Amino acid sequence: MNEPQPTPRQPLTELIHHPYQPPPGFQAPQPAVHKASTVVFANTAAMRSRDWRSRQGYTYGLHGTPTTFTLEERLCHLEGGLQCLLVPSGLAALANVALALLKTGDEVLMPDNAYGPNKALAEGELARWGITHQWYDPLSVDDLARRLGPRTRLVWLEAPGSVTMEFPDLPALTRVCREHGALVALDNTWGAGLAFNPFDLGEGWGVDISAHALTKYPSGGGDVLMGSVITRDEALHLRLKGCHMRLGLGVGANDVETVLRSLPSIALRYRAHDQAARTLARWLQQRSEVVQVLHPALPGAPGHAHWQALCGHVEGGTGAAAGLFSVLLDPRYSPAQVDAFCDALQLFKLGYSWGGPISLVVPYDLASMRQQPTPHLQPGHLVRFSVGLEAVADLQADLAQALAHALPAL
Ligand SMILES: *Cc1c(COP(=O)(O)O)cnc(C)c1O
């Protein structure tokens, strides 16, 4: 009656299939990092019945792991959404929206101050595929309303716009799009889910889609690229998710881990970036080299009243804003002097992107970025600052020495 003993497996096989399971119940501050391309199924029936779209289980690394699901849930909570997709960059989030929703013959509207590469996508691939675009004046609801037509399928919003920082009337822009029946997508990178709620712009409704460059504040390190696409409508989410799957947009578990690790401190960091940026922006307002400071929380800045209405009640009445602002330097300086000012900065490094601990500066050529006139901007040289987490007194001293070094009194 001896049971046949299984043939002992060889060590090489046991290196892969050893039955040891660590005890369950491990708890630690950070969630586990699950890495997979392949996900294994208990049996063929489980494999066949598995629907890759359902979040009740796992099918393949691209379609979700416990690690990506965890970040998605937390980001939904941050932004007030119900469904989330993770993509390899903020730009991929913008592209995912466009490619999922637009077809030949459709039109997309974008503010003239939209994130540059999003405009380039419209002028590049979308135009080649017969999808037309128009740029609207972000400070004019009437201008947007005039441009909405029978082919308008998608309207982008950005608050504030990239580099020139005009804060639009988001509730009013969203309302005209909804009345027209166009889908509304917001690039919510600046607000980050902290400055305002994109899905409730005051009357219980908001945008259809919030795209977020997690590269910025959710990462907070200047070392990760990632994006998210958040919705509150399951059918819209599934449409975006189908495109996401067919394009093979996935994120690496270690990058997700980095964002999960930074996320708990996002509100503290956002507030610190905001306070320092406002201190420096106000100080620069007093400087004779500067003709205009573009920061939506400063009275007089383009769209300030819209910022005040949407974000002004946050943080006990001081309002919330990110750590970004731009200045226009006196047009009598030469471009070479402006470059010399940027080069003379020691703590502010020359670099794109923002949201990390290091302060950054970029000189921009406004004329090449805009298709429409900008009467709300003074003539001058545009320089954008991203304020990091250094001591604000040191940053102010750095600005002062670079101004003194490169920009003589006029
Ligand atoms: C940085 C940024 C993006 C793109 O994010 P990446 O991760 O760098 O691709 C999109 N929109 C805005 C407003 C941004 O600032």
Residue-level pLDDT, tens digit, the chain, 410 residues: 567 777 889 999 999 999 999 999 999 999 999 999 999 999 999 999 999 999 999 999 999 999 999 999 999 999 999 999 999 999 999 999 999 999 999 999 999 999 999 999 999 999 999 999 999 999 999 999 999 999 999 999 999 999 999 999 999 999 999 999 999 999 999 999 999 999 999 888 999 999 999 999 999 999 999 999 999 999 999 999 999 999 999 999 999 999 999 999 999 999 999 999 999 999 999 999 999 999 999 999 999 999 999 999 987 889 999 999 999 999 999 999 999 999 999 999 999 999 999 999 999 999 999 999 999 999 999 999 999 999 999 999 999 999 999 999 98
- What ligand 1 atom has the least distance to the C-alpha of 352? 1
Q: For residue 15, report the distance from its CA to the centre of ligand 1, in Å.
A: 43
* Residue 120, domain member (yes or no): yes
Residue 170: closest CA among 200, 193, 126: 200
One domain, residues 161 and 121: yes
Q: For residue 408, report the distance from its CA to the centre of ligand 1, in Å.
A: 35
Range of the domain at 53: 44-263
Please report the sign of the dihedral spanned by the C-alpha atoms of residue 21, residue 22, residue 26, residue 28: negative
* Residue 294, domain member (yes or no): yes
- What ligand 1 atom has the least distance to the C-alpha of 91? 9
Q: For residue 184, report the distance from its CA to the centre of ligand 1, in Å.
A: 18
- Does 360 contact ligand 1 (Cβ within 6 A)? no
- What ligand 1 atom has the least distance to the C-alpha of 215? 7
Residue 250: closest CA among 273, 229, 226: 226
* Residue 146, domain member (yes or no): yes
Q: For residue 303, report the distance from its CA to the centre of ligand 1, in Å.
A: 21
Q: For residue 171, report the distance from its CA to the centre of ligand 1, in Å.
A: 23
One domain, residues 57 and 174: yes
One domain, residues 276 and 192: no
Q: What residue type is 226 in one-letter code?
A: M
Q: Whose CA is nearest to atom 6 of ligand 1?
A: 90
- Does 348 contact ligand 1 (Cβ within 6 A)? no
- Does 213 contact ligand 1 (Cβ within 6 A)? yes
* Residue 11, domain member (yes or no): no
Structure token pair of residue 330 = 């006196």
Output the pTM of the full model. 0.96
Dist CA 22 CA 32 (whole Å) = 14
User: For the chain, how many structural domains are there in total?
Assistant: 2
